[in-house]
């Protein structure tokens, strides 16, 4: 399983797009380590990197939304919290069962389903807001 970043996922805010690409890279590194059978320690380590990066990314994205007065901030933050809880549950499973096939496939589903949906709907709304705001300032 490999998740690919596509142009249609671009939000139009360089910092966010860059972080989304990195997020995909980190998931892919985790999944590749698992698929190549590179030991439990390495796979777990890559999962922790992914987990830490998700937290950093959400915090950065939320800070940006507050800076620009994004009107849908609260609902957006709730989605981040929901995803954070899902990832935390995976982290607990990782601690108890190790990088099992079922855990890795749950992580994959979360990234390909939930996260991509979130990026294409919620995050792209931030991009639109930024653009409209700039146009408003210019006009």
**For binding to Fe ion (CB under 5 A), which residues are involved?**
61, 123
Whether 75 contacts 93, CB under 8 Å: no
CA distances, 75 to each of 4, 23, 55, 56 (Å): 26, 22, 17, 19
Least Å from the CB of residue 139 to Fe ion = 28
Nearer to Fe ion, 17 or 123 (CB): 123
| Cα–Cα distance, 65 to 18 (Å, whole number) | 16
Nearer to Fe ion, 25 or 42 (CB): 25
3-state SS, residue 10: coil
Nearer to Fe ion, 17 or 61 (CB): 61
Least Å from the CB of residue 35 to Fe ion = 27
Least Å from the CB of residue 80 to Fe ion = 6
């Amino acid at each position: 399983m490999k998740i690919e970043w596509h142009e249609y996922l671009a939000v139009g805010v360089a910092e966010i797009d860059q972080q989304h690409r990195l997020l995909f890279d980190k998931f892919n590194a985790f999944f590749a380590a698992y698929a190549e059978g590179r030991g439990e320690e390495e796979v777990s380590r890559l999962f922790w990197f992914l987990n830490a990066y998700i937290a950093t990314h959400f915090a950065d994205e939320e800070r940006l939304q507050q800076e620009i007065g994004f009107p849908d901030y609260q609902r957006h933050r709730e989605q981040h919290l929901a995803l954070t809880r899902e990832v935390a549950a995976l982290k607990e499973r990782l601690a108890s069962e190790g990088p099992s096939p079922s855990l890795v496939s749950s992580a994959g589903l979360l990234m390909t389903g939930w996260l991509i949906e979130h990026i294409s709907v919620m995050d792209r709304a931030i991009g639109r807001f930024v653009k409209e705001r700039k146009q408003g300032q210019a006009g």
